[in-house]
């Protein structure tokens, strides 16, 4: 059973390299957090073992091999997952090395916005949940995968994925949930949640031998404390920079770490996109009720059939539908379903709240008149998750 822990106070014990960093940390803390800090340019294993608090916050010099070895040894012996590290000289290689140690999070300097408070809150939560939640290796507890494809650019599939995840993540006892942005050329999931683009699927794919749950979680950002997000690359990459082995490995690790994995896929068809779909428990096809969109959606369905993926449950979502019949240019649902050869499972209305949420990088419940739309997305996301869970435990067709 998943649990959510609520706190009235969190004690942060920090070992920092300068008084300047201490002052920046004090400014970044939430009101519910108390800080016990000491300034030291170096540390040893005995010092680290003496630290006691809900979260241990360490300022480390990643260019110092002695400090990196000491941290690694401490983490191998520590009985906590509540260690957060910050550094002024982070790069991809050092971040990977740090996250391999099982840290709760790694924060670059200077501190940005609410990143520090959010990371410390999440770290404290992981510590307490780990202490009260039994771990099971039962294969039935592996998470399900829901992949989003679209009938063309601009139909709003990314918005539905991230806002649906944000809606679920706001619920009490929300399951561990992540969104993987696999659109390596035009992915916008992080932008729509005003989240940092830290490490992408491209970075993980380049070092698959070292990929594990800790490294995957370390690559994630956590928008508005709702769900974990693997952001798209900040630059455009060739389609060939990903391959079947990479996406299959990343999906397998994600299944072990999360109850539900939502994947936002690009509009292209490639071998690794097909591999992602083949590893999915449900495929969500997002369309609009227009002739061009439905024509492209029909091609997508035919492609799924030709690639022998039609045994995977398909959910069709009509997005941005007109709220009223008068003056609407939407094709009627009955006609649209007939054109597709598949029922329209869900409809999401064209609502200014969705555009406002995307423009401001906020969840729907935090924008004007967004609560009603958030409720629709939550119900849709829960229905899709339920269908994915059923598919997950049923035997797959060879």
Cα–Cα distance for residue pair 312/76, rounded to 1 Å: 41
- Check whether domain 10-132 has CATH 3.40.50.2300, yes or no: yes
Q: Which two tokens stand for residue 15?
A: 């070992």
| DSSP classification of residue 196 | -
Q: Which stretches of the chain score pLDDT less than 70?
A: 1-9, 78-81, 113, 125-141, 324-328, 391-398
Nearest to 373 by CA among 203, 156, 172: 156
| DSSP classification of residue 221 | B
pLDDT of 394: 58
Q: Which residue's entry shows tokens 């609410």?
A: 114
Question: Quick check: 9 and 34 in contact, CB under 8 A?
Answer: yes
Question: Residues of CATH 3.40.50.300 domain(s) within the chain?
Answer: 140-393
> Which residues face 146 on adjacent strands?
262, 282
H/E element, 121: helix 115-132
Residue 90 CB neighbour total at 10 angstroms: 18
Q: Which two tokens stand for residue 314?
A: 């398909």
* Gap between the terminal Cα atoms of the chain: 32
Cα–Cα distance for residue pair 263/384, rounded to 1 Å: 13
Counts of helices then strands in the chain (DSSP H, E): 15, 12
pLDDT of 205: 92
pLDDT of 328: 67
Cα–Cα distance for residue pair 141/153, rounded to 1 Å: 35
Query: What is the arrangement of strands in the sheet containing 144-150, beginning at the earlier edge strand?
Result: 228-230, 177-181, 260-264, 144-150, 282-287, 314-321, 346-349
pLDDT of 50: 80
Question: Quick check: 182 and 267 in contact, CB under 8 A?
Answer: no
Cα–Cα distance for residue pair 181/370, rounded to 1 Å: 24
Nearest to 115 by CA among 262, 220, 235: 220
Question: Quick check: 113 and 133 in contact, CB under 8 A?
Answer: no
SS3 labels along 134-181? CCCCCHHHCCEEEEEEECCCCCCHHHHHHHHHHHHHCCCCCCCEEEEE
pLDDT of 131: 37
pTM reported for the whole predicted model: 0.67
Fold of 140-393: Rossmann fold (3.40.50)
Cα–Cα distance for residue pair 110/106, rounded to 1 Å: 12
pLDDT of 90: 84
Q: Which two tokens stand for residue 31?
A: 């009101």
Question: Residues of CATH 3.40.50.2300 domain(s) within the chain?
Answer: 10-132
Peptide bond into 12 cis (omega under 30): no
pLDDT of 98: 83
Residue 147: exposed, middle, or buried by beta-carbon count in 10 A (0-12, 13-18, 19+)? buried
Longest pairwise C-alpha distance within the chain:
74
CA 212: distance to chain centroid? 16
Q: Helices 65-77 & 92-99, crossing angle to 10 degrees?
A: 30
pLDDT of 132: 34
pLDDT of 390: 75
Q: Which two tokens stand for residue 394?
A: 């049923």
CA 274: distance to chain centroid? 21
Cα–Cα distance for residue pair 332/320, rounded to 1 Å: 13
pLDDT of 129: 38
Question: Quick check: 346 and 378 in contact, CB under 8 A?
Answer: no
């Amino acid at each position: 059973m998943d649990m959510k822990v609520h706190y009235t106070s969190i004690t942060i014990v920090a070992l920092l390299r300068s008084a300047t960093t201490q002052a920046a940390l004090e400014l970044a803390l939430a009101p519910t957090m108390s800080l016990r800090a000491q300034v030291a340019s170096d540390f040893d294993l005995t010092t680290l073992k003496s630290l006691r608090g809900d979260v241990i916050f360490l300022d480390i010099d990643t260019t110092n091999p002695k400090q990196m070895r000491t941290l690694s040894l401490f983490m191998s012996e520590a009985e906590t997952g509540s260690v957060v590290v910050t550094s002024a000289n982070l790069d991809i290689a050092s971040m990977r090395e740090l996250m391999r140690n099982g840290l709760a999070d790694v924060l670059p300097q200077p501190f940005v916005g609410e990143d520090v408070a959010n990371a410390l809150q999440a770290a404290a939560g992981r510590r307490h949940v780990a202490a009260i939640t039994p771990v099971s290796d039962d294969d039935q507890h592996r998470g399900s995968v829901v992949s989003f494809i679209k009938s063309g650019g601009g139909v709003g599939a990314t918005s539905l994925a991230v806002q649906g995840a944000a809606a679920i993540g706001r619920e009490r006892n929300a399951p561990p949930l992540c969104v993987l942005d696999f659109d390596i050329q035009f992915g916008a999931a992080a932008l729509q949640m005003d989240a940092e683009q830290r490490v992408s699927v491209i970075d993980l794919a380049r070092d698959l031998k070292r990929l594990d749950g800790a490294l995957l979680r370390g690559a994630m950002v956590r928008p508005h404390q709702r769900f974990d997000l693997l952001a798209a690359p900040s630059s455009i990459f060739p389609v060939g920079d990903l391959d079947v082995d990479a996406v299959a490995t990343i999906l397998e690790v994600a299944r072990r770490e999360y109850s539900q994995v939502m994947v936002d896929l690009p509009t292209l068809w490639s071998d690794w996109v097909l591999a992602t779909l083949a590893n999915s428990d449900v495929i969500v096809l997002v369309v609009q009720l227009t002739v061009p969109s439905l024509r492209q959606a029909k091609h997508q369905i035919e492609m799924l059939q030709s690639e022998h993926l039609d045994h995977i449950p398909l959910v069709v979502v009509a997005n941005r539908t007109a709220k009223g019949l008068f003056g609407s240019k939407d094709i009627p649902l009955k006609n649209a379903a007939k054109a597709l050869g598949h029922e329209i499972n869900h409809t999401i209305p064209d609502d200014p709240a969705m555009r406002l949420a995307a423009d401001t990088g906020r969840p729907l419940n935090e924008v004007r008149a967004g609560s009603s739309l958030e409720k629709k997305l939550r119900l849709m996301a829960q229905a899709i998750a339920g269908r994915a869970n059923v598919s997950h435990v049923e035997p797959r067709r060879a």
